[in-house]
Chains A and B, each alone.
Chain A
Amino acid sequence: MSEVKPDLIDVQINGEWHSFPKGTRMIEACKEVGVEVPHYCYHPKLTSPGNCRMCLVEMGMPPRPAPGSDPVEPDEDGHVPISWIPRPVIACANTIAPNMGIRTESEMTEECRKGVMELLLANHPLDCPICDQAGECSLQEFSVEHGKGESRFREQKVKKPKNVEIGPRIRLDDERCIMCSRCIRFMDEIADQPVLGFTDRGSHTTLTIHPGHELTSNYSLNTADLCPVGALTSNDFRFQMRVWFMKETKTIDVNCATGANITVFAREGKIYRVIPRQNNNVNSNWMPDSHRLNIHWINSEARLTDPLVRDEKSGNHRVATWNGAMQTSADALLKLDGSEIAVIGSARMTNEELLITNRLAKQLDAGHVDVVAREGEPDGYLISADRNPNSNGAKLILGLENPGSTIDQIREGIAQGRIKALVCLQENIIDDAGFSADELAKLDFFLTSYPLANATAEVADVVLPGACWAEKSGTMVNGTGRLQRLNKCIEGPGQTLEAWEIVRDLIQALGGGNGIYAATELFAQLAGEVPEFEGITFGQIGDLGLPLIETDERIPLLEREAERKAQGLIVG
C-alpha cells in the first residue's frame, strides 16, 4: 500500500530550504529540522493562545511586486527571494506558507527574546535556590540563553499570593507564575475541571482557582509537569530532591492495563517521583495522580528483604538462604502429584516471568494455573477497567482465555483438600483474591513471593522477597495490545530477586536445569515459542513499544485528542 503523501510546502529556515506538510505550525517545522524556538505557552496538546510571545521569529514571504512591475523570477529550485517583514510573528500559532522564510537567529529575533525575557523576569522572585523547578525550569534555561545577566528593574516587584493550596496535591506560588496559561488550558480542555483562570489582569495578573473550588481532578498533577516554571509544584515531591541529583529511567506504569509511559526519578535506590512520558499511542503526555503517587510503598519498611522459611518447631518464619528456601520448596513439591499442585501467577508479571512461570507449571505438571484478576471502574480518561498491567500477556503466554476465572476453583480445591500445594507468585491472595488464612492453612505446602510482608505471607511455609515493578526489566502487553518495555529503575532491597529469577531457581531445584541469565534471553525464547511474539527482538520494542495484537480496548482520552487534532485545535 502506498502512503498518501500530504501536500508539501517549501519553507526556508535560517537560510536552508526544507519541505513540510501543509498546515504545519512554524514552531513545529523548526523543531522538525532541529531548530529550537524557545516558548512557554505553546504546548502541542493544548490550544495555542500565543500569549507568552517568547516564540517570536522573523518571517518573510514571497515578494509582491507593485502592479505593472515585473514578476520575480524563481530560481532553478522554484524558490523566489524572500522579502522579510519588518516586525516579528509568533511561531506557535502561525502555519507555514509556500516560499515562507523563518529566521530564528537574526538580530531581530534575538532582540525580541531578550525583551520578553526581561519583562518576564521583572516581577519574577528569582528564588531559584529554594524552587523545586530549578534545573528543569524553562525560565532559567532561556534566561541563560536569551536573557541579560543583570536586571535593569529597580522598582518594587509586584506582590502576589504565595504557597496557596489550590488542591489536595498541588500548591501555587503566584509570584513565580509567568502567565503562560498552560494549566488553565489543561484543566479546561483535558481534565474537564475548568476552575483555573487569571484574575486582576494587568500588572497584577494572578492565576487563581475560583473561590470555593479545589483542584480535585485525578489529573491535577499534570499541571505541575506542564508548568514551565515553579509556580505549580507537587505537594508530594516538593522539597524532596534536586532534579539534577536523580537518575531518570524510562519505563511504564503498572497500575492499570493502559500502561502509561513514565519516567522514574530515583536516587540511591529511592524513587522520588514519577512523571508521564509522551507516547501518543498510550497516554499522550499525561497520567493520573493516583498512579504516579503509588510509589511510596516501594521504599517502605514493610518490604521483604530475605527468603523466609517456616520453622517446623516454633511455627515462626526464620531467615533462610535462597538455596535453602528453594531446596525446602522443591522437596515439598516433589512429594506431591501434579494434580495436587496449583500455581497462581500474576498479571502484574512481565511476559518473561509469565513464560518461565508457565514452564514451572509444566515441570510440576500442575493441575491449576491462573492469575488474579483486578477489576475497577474505568475513569473515561486513561485508567482502564483492568487494573492489571499485563492481562494480555497472561492470556497469550499462560493460554488463559479469561484470566482469574479459575481462582475460585483453586480455592474450592484447597478447601476440599484436593489441592495440597500452592505456589503463589507476586500476589497477595488473602487481600486481593478473597482467600482466607484458614483455607490456606489446610495446604501441605504454600509458597509465596511478594515485595511486601502481608497477611498471605504470614500463613505461607516459604516466603520469598520478589522484586517490584521498579526493580525489574521485561515486557508487558497493555490493554490495547501494545508490547512495551518495563525497565529496572532501582535495585531491590536486601536479597530480593526478580520473579523470573525465583522461578528459574525453583525449576533448577526441582531438577530441571536451565541456563538463563537475563530476562532478555527469556524474551528471545518467548519470540520462538509464542506465535504472537514471533520475529520480535527485545531491542525492536524501543521506548515507545510496538503494536502486538488487536484488542477492543480504546483509550478515551486519546480518542478525544484525535478529535481535537482533526478539528485543527491542537497540533497533537
Chain B
Amino acid sequence: MSFEVPAEVETKVDQRITHYPVSKRSAVLPVIHELQHHFGFISEEAVEWIAVKLELEPIKVLEVVTFYPGIRQSAPGKFHIRVCRTLSCAMAGSAELMDALCETANIDRSGTDHHHPIAVSPDGKFSIEFAECLASCGTGPVCLVNDDFHEAVPNAAELLAKYD
C-alpha cells in the first residue's frame, strides 16, 4: 500500500509551514499533528514525507516523533481510548477502569511497553493506552475516547456501547 497524502491535507500542511518563515524545521510539530489527525498515526512513510516536505533529514523528524507520547507510531483502533493514570485518577481506580475496558473490548495489553504503549482489539475497533493527567482531577477516573472526554466513568461496557 503506497503512502499518499490527500491534496486537502497537503494544503493544510503547506499553510502551517507558512507560519514559520525563518526555519521550516520549526514546522515539524504542527505538520506531524496534521498527518496524525488524518492517518491516526505517524508511519515510517509519513516521517519520510515530512522530511522531504521540510527539507530535513528523516532522523530529525523521527527524533520529534519519538519524543512525544501523544504522537503514535502504530495504527490505533477506530476509537482510541486514553485512560488517565496520574495520581487522583489512579486513586479513584484508573487501573480497574483500564482492566474493565480491556476486558469489554477484548484487548490484550500484555505486549505493551514503554516504546509500544498502544494495544488494539483484534477487530481493530478499539485501542487503548494510559495517559498522564487529563486535567479533571476531581472527577476521576477519567478517560478520552477519540476527542470525547468522560469523567467518573462508572461502567466500561456502558461507555463502549456508545461507540459503534
User: Which of A195, A200, A208, A211 is B57 in contact with, Cβ under 8 Å?
Assistant: A195
Query: Other CB < 8 Å A-B pairs besides A201-B63, A210-B59, A210-B62, 6 of them?
Result: A194-B57, A195-B57, A197-B57, A209-B59, A212-B44, A213-B59
Q: Given the complex of chains A and B, what is the CA–CA distance between A213 and B62 in angstroms?
A: 13
Which A residues are closer than 8 A to B by beta carbons? 194-202, 204, 208-213
Q: What residues of A have a CB within 8 angstroms of the CB of B59 in the complex?
A: 194-197, 208-210, 213
Q: Given the complex of chains A and B, what is the CA–CA distance between A194 and B66 in angstroms?
A: 18
B67 touching A197, Cβ below 8 Å: no
A210 touching B66, Cβ below 8 Å: no
Min CB gap B122→A, angstroms: 27
Q: Given the complex of chains A and B, what is the CA–CA distance between A210 and B57 in angstroms?
A: 9
Q: What residues of B have a CB within 8 angstroms of the CB of A198 in the complex?
A: 63
Nearest first, the 4 closest Cβ-Cβ pairs linking A and B are: A197-B59, A199-B66, A210-B59, A194-B57
Q: Given the complex of chains A and B, what is the CA–CA distance between A211 and B73 in angstroms?
A: 13
Min CB gap A65→B, angstroms: 39
Q: What residues of A have a CB within 8 angstroms of the CB of B62 in the complex?
A: 197, 199, 208, 210-211
Given that A197-B63, A201-B67 are known contacts, is A210 also in contact with B58, CB under 8 Å in the complex?
A: yes
B162 touches A (CB below 8 Å): no
Chain B, residue nearest A196 (CB): B59
Min CB gap B52→A, angstroms: 13
Min CB gap B127→A, angstroms: 20
Min CB gap B63→A, angstroms: 5
Min CB gap B80→A, angstroms: 21
Q: Given the complex of chains A and B, what is the CA–CA distance between A199 and B62 in angstroms?
A: 7
B12 touches A (CB below 8 Å): no
Which B residues are closer than 8 A to A by beta carbons? 44, 57-60, 62-63, 66-67, 114-115
Min CB gap A207→B, angstroms: 10
Min CB gap B94→A, angstroms: 22
In the complex, which of the residues A194, A195, A210 has the most CB atoms of chain B within 10 Å of its own CB atom? A210
Q: Given the complex of chains A and B, what is the CA–CA distance between A202 and B132 in angstroms?
A: 15
Q: Given the complex of chains A and B, what is the CA–CA distance between A199 and B44 in angstroms?
A: 14
Q: Given the complex of chains A and B, what is the CA–CA distance between A345 and B149 in angstroms?
A: 84
In the complex, which of the residues B44, B58, B59, B63 has the most CB atoms of chain A within 10 Å of its own CB atom? B59
A197 touching B60, Cβ below 8 Å: yes
Q: What residues of B have a CB within 8 angstroms of the CB of A213 in the complex?
A: 59
Q: What residues of B have a CB within 8 angstroms of the CB of A194 in the complex?
A: 57, 59-60
Q: Given the complex of chains A and B, what is the CA–CA distance between A212 and B66 in angstroms?
A: 17
Q: What residues of B have a CB within 8 angstroms of the CB of A200 in the complex?
A: 66-67, 114-115
Q: Given the complex of chains A and B, what is the CA–CA distance between A212 and B60 in angstroms?
A: 14
Q: What residues of B have a CB within 8 angstroms of the CB of A210 in the complex?
A: 57-59, 62
30 A-B pairs with CB atoms under 8 Å apart are A194-B57, A194-B59, A195-B57, A195-B58, A195-B59, A196-B59, A197-B57, A197-B60, A197-B62, A197-B63, A198-B63, A199-B62, A199-B63, A199-B66, A199-B67, A200-B66, A200-B67, A200-B114, A201-B63, A201-B66, A204-B115, A208-B59, A208-B62, A209-B59, A210-B57, A210-B58, A210-B62, A211-B62, A212-B44, A213-B59
Q: Given the complex of chains A and B, what is the CA–CA distance between A59 and B78 in angstroms?
A: 57
Q: Given the complex of chains A and B, what is the CA–CA distance between A472 and B79 in angstroms?
A: 74
Chain B, residue nearest A210 (CB): B59
Min CB gap A350→B, angstroms: 44
Min CB gap B138→A, angstroms: 29
Q: Given the complex of chains A and B, what is the CA–CA distance between A97 and B112 in angstroms?
A: 53
User: Which of B44, B57, B60, B67 is A202 in contact with, Cβ under 8 Å?
Assistant: B67
